[in-house]
Chains A and B, each alone.
Chain A
Amino acid sequence: MHGQVDVRTQALVDLRLALLIFRGHAGEQLRTISRLLQQFAMDLQRQEQISQEQVRQAQNFLHQLRRRNSDVETIQRAADQLRQAEDRLSKIRYHQREVIGAIQAYHKQAQRLNQYLEHEVPKATVFLSDKLTILDQYRATKGEVSDQSLGPSEQNSETVSPTPIYLEFIQFVTKMSWVSSVDWGGVFFVALLSRLTPQPETAADILVYYQLYIEYQPLLLSSIRSFLTRMIWVRSANWLDIFQTIIAIMSSLSWLVQMNIVHSPQLAEMFKNAPQLPEQIAQLADAHELDLEDKREDYKKRRQLPIRGDYQHEDISDPPTNHLRNNTKGAS
C-alpha cells in the first residue's frame, strides 16, 4: 500500500513541478514572442514611411517634369514610377492592417493565457500540494490498512523502492505541520526545490530554475532557519538526513550559479547579489548539530514547566495524533 501511495505522491510531485516549469517557460516564451511581433509591426511601419516618402518624391518629380514641359515619354515613365510607388504603399498598408489585426488577436489571447498562468496555475499547484498532504496524512494514519481506492491489479504491486531523501523531507514536514509558527509554505518549497537536483538540460531550464530560486530565495533561507530553530528539539527526527537534504539543495543551487555564469553573463551578474547559501547552511548545520544535545535537555525541562514564550500557542506536550515521537521516525 505504501508503495502505491508513494507512486501517487511521486506522480503529483512531478506534475506540480512540471506545471511550475511550464509556467516559467511559457511566460518567458510569450514575452519573447510579443517582443518579436512588436518588432514586426514596427518594421512594417518603417516600410510604410519609406514607401510614403518614395510616393512623395515620385509625385514631386512628376510635378517638376510637367512644369518644365518635358517630353511625353519622360512624363509617362515618371507617372509609371509614381503608380508603382503608390501600389507598393497600398500593398504595405494592406499587409500592415492584416498583420496588426492578427497581432492584436494574438495579444488578446496571449493575455488570457498569461492571466491563467499567473493566477490559476499557482492555484493548481496549491491544489496538488493539498492532495500531497492528504496522501501523506493518510499514509501516516492508516499504516498497513489497504487503500480501497486502488484497483485490484495495483494492490499486489508492493515493489517499494528506497524512499528518496526529498520524500522523507516532505513526510517529515507534513507530520510537523501542526506547529503553526513555522513558515510551512517555505519549508514545502525547500522540499520542492530538492526535486531540481536532476541537472537541467537547456539554458531555458536553467532560467526557469533560476527564476524559481530568485522568487523564493528569501523565503527559502528564512524558512530553513525558522524550520531548524523551531524543530531542533524534536529528537526523533533524522537530522542528518534533513541536513544532507538541505545541503544537497544548496549544492544544486550552487551548481546552477556556475551554469548561469557559463550560459548568461546577465544572470551571472544578477547572481553576484545572491548570498553564498551553501556555506551559510553548512555553518548553520554545524551550529545546530552542536546545539542538538542542549536542545534535548531544554525540551525535557520544558516538558516539566508550564508552556510559555514561542511555544505558547503550540501544544507541544500533546501534539495531534502524537506524531512527534512515533511518526517522525518515518522520516528517517
Chain B
Amino acid sequence: MIAILKQHAASFDESWKRLGRQWQISSEQWLDEVRQAFDQQYWQPLEQQVGLTERELQKVVEVIEQAMVSLR
C-alpha cells in the first residue's frame, strides 16, 4: 500500500511540475505588471500551499515507512 501512496504522491508532484512548466512558458510571454500582480496574488500563494502539502505528505510517507519496518 505504501507503494500506491508513493505513486499518488509522485503523480501529484508531476501535475504540479507540469503546471510549473506552463507557468514558466506563459510568464516568459507575459512581461508586464499584470503578470507580477498575478504572480503575487495567485501564483506564489499556490506555490506555497503546494510546497507545504508536499512536505507534510513526505513526512507522512516517512513515518509510515518507519512504522512498517519497525512492525514487520
A236 to chain B: which residues have CB within 8 Å? none
B42 to chain A, nearest CB (A): 4
Could you tell me the distance between the alpha carbons of A168 and B69 in the complex, rounded to whole angstroms? 59
Asked if A131 and B12 sit within 8 Å, CB to CB, the answer is no
Inter-subunit contact A121/B46 (CB<8 Å): yes
Chain A residue contacts of B4, Cβ below 8 A: 36
Chain B residues with a Cβ under 8 A of chain A: 1, 4-5, 8-9, 11-12, 15-16, 18-19, 22-23, 25-32, 34, 38, 41-43, 45-46, 49-50, 52-53, 56-57, 59-60, 63-64, 66-67, 70-71
Cβ contacts under 8 Å, A18 to chain B: 18-19, 22-23, 26
A95, B71: Cβ atoms under 8 Å?
A: yes
Whether A95 lies near B23 (C-beta < 8 A) is: no
Residue A295 is within 8 A (CB to CB) of chain B in the complex: no
Given contacts A11-B29, A37-B5, A149-B32, contact A26 B15 (CB under 8 A): yes
Query: Is A282 engaged at the interface, CB distance under 8 Å to the other chain?
Result: no
Closest A residue to B67 by CB, please name it.
A95
A115 to chain B, nearest CB (A): 9
How many residues does chain A have at the interface if contact means C-beta atoms less than 8 Å apart?
Answer: 51
Give the Cβ gap from B7 to chain A, nearest Cβ, in Å: 10
Known A-B contacts A44-B67, A113-B50; the reply to A11 vs B26 at CB < 8 A is yes
> Whole-angstrom distance from the CB of A200 to the nearest CB of chain B?
12
Main secondary structure of the interface of A (DSSP, over half): helix
Residue ranges of A at the interface with B (Cβ–Cβ < 8 Å):
7-8, 10-12, 14-15, 18-19, 21-22, 25-26, 29-30, 32-33, 36-37, 39-40, 43-44, 47, 88, 91-92, 95, 98-99, 101-103, 105-106, 108-110, 112-113, 116, 120-121, 123-124, 127-128, 131, 149, 151, 204
Contact of A29 among B8, B41, B52, B64 (CB under 8 A): B8
In the bound complex, do residue B15 and residue A36 qualify as a contact, i.e. CB atoms below 8 Å apart?
A: no
Is B12 within 8 A of A30, CB to CB? yes
The answer on a CB contact under 8 Å between B29 and A8 is yes
Complex Cα spacing A87 to B66, Å: 17
Give the chain A neighbours of B34 by CB distance below 8 A: 131
B60 near A22 with CB under 8 A, answer no
Partner of A36, one of B1, B31, B45: B1
